[in-house]
Amino acid sequence: MNWLTADIPGTGGIYKQTAEDFQVEEIPLYPCSGEGEHLYLWIEKTGITTRNLLSQLSQGLKLKDREIGYAGLKDARALTRQMISVPFNKIDDIGKLDLKGCKILKISRHNNKLRLGHLSGNRFTITLRNTLAEAVPRAEKILTQLQQRGVPNLFGEQRYGILGNSAKLGQFFVQKEFTLFCQEFIGNPQLIRNPEWKKAAEYFQQGQLQAAYDNLPGKMRDERRLLRMLLEGKSHHTAVTALPRNLLRLFLSATQSYFFDQLLQQRLAGLDLLIDGDIAVKHSNGACFRVENAVQEQQRANNFEISPSAPLFGSKVMLAMGQPGTAEKTLLQESGLTLDSWKLPQGLTMPGERRPLRVPLGEVQIVHAGKSHLTLSFILPKGSYATSVLRELTKQTDPGHLISITQ
């Protein structure tokens, strides 16, 4: 693993020993108007995913999924605060809700439904435990360099699912390898800790579909649905494409993310340096332009007005030219894909976009430091991950690796 701050030793340490060790708070894109047809619920949750929260609200308020709005997904293994919107006509039912793992802190009113991406960024407050003796001075040096050069805009391990295979699933789907998709979707038993799921995956590898179905945990509804369709004699193609569209899009998005991370790693040592042929992103508005003369544009990068980018591959994404373009085209070709591969049926086409290789680090503060722990806070723009900061700080690939993950 390489780091942007490789010249500075890490702090060591792990996080997420408790939910309070990893706190995330959305920074709204706009204030509520105080009127309108939508209620904005400021909700604190612990130990559950945003999707679980949305499911509880959908069932408790008798709403369809599309009637509920949210700006972003938040980690389950954390204490998080985020805004959720529901129709105003449900105001009398809010007090009757029996929410598990979350509570409503504040209710406001606004004109429009909350949309995905409608947030300015996220404020993180994170405690690292079991840190080294020199953790504080090392953290100060690392954070200073990240403020100057930017945070690598990696998606990281949390993007790729509990078994780390979401990107592989998306690639199999794009390649129309539906049999391989099914095998990967049920899971590799060597990577599964839940005993029932592990047994089901072993049976599936042996071709014993009924035994696999009987052993799958009941809450694994999508996997059980796929197996049931195979037991009914449906083709692998039919069983896969019958999965929820939002789940399939999640896998496709993970594949885009994986390719992006590979390209970023190739540029990590100089992610703040422009190259002729780059497509630069303006941080103020996300607009892109092709870099004809990197030397002339570099000062704007030094001022953090612009940054080089890499693609989230898709059918309409603009590719770079020159050296960066060669790297992008090579990665795509080696994966057996073209941009047209992302033209998919059932509304699953991924148009693609450009994503900056780095993001600014704001309002950095070491809140508290003890003998073997430290707590820090900082702000990152929407769509970027705190794990990129923690990876640089600790010099570990996954500082939360001691936390067991089970389904």
For the chain, the domains span 30-117, 172-245, 250-358
pLDDT at 403: 28
- Supply the mean pLDDT for the chain: 92
pLDDT at 216: 95
Region 389-398: mean pLDDT is 86
Tens digits of residue pLDDT in 252-267: 999 999 999 999 999 9
The answer to whether domain 30-117 and domain 250-358 are alike in fold is yes
The pLDDT confidence band at residue 37, using thresholds 50, 70 and 90, is: very high
Residues marked as catalytic: 75
In three-state form (DSSP H/G/I as H, E/B as E, the rest C), the secondary structure along the chain is: CCCCCCCCCCCCCECCCCHHHEEEEEEECCCCCCCCCEEEEEEEEECCCHHHHHHHHHHHHCCCHHHCEECCCCCCCCEEEEEEEEEHHHHHHHCCCCCCCEEEEEEEEECCCCCCCCEEEEEEEEEEECCCCCHHHHHHHHHHHHHHHCEECCCCHHHHCCCCCHHHHHHHHHCCCHHHHHHHHHCCHHHCCCHHHHHHHHHHHCCCHHHHHHHCCCCCHHHHHHHHHHHCCCCHHHHHHCCCHHHHHHHHHHHHHHHHHHHHHHHHHHCCCCCCCCEEEECCCCCEEECCCHHHHHHHHHCCCEEEEEEECCCCCCCCCHHHHHHHHHHHHHCCCCHHHHCCCCCCCCCCEEEECEECCEEEEEEEECCCEEEEEEEEECCCCHHHHHHHHHCCCCCCCCCCCCC
Region 272-276: mean pLDDT is 97
Q: What is the pTM of this model?
A: 0.87
pLDDT at 400: 44
The pLDDT confidence band at residue 225, using thresholds 50, 70 and 90, is: very high
pLDDT at 406: 23
CATH no., domain 30-117:
3.30.2350.20
Share of the chain above pLDDT 90, in %: 79
pLDDT at 102: 92
For the cut 50, the answer to whether the pLDDT of residue 313 exceeds it is: yes
Superfamily of domain 250-358 in the CATH hierarchy: TruD, catalytic domain (3.30.2350.20)
The pLDDT confidence band at residue 73, using thresholds 50, 70 and 90, is: confident
pLDDT at 397: 64
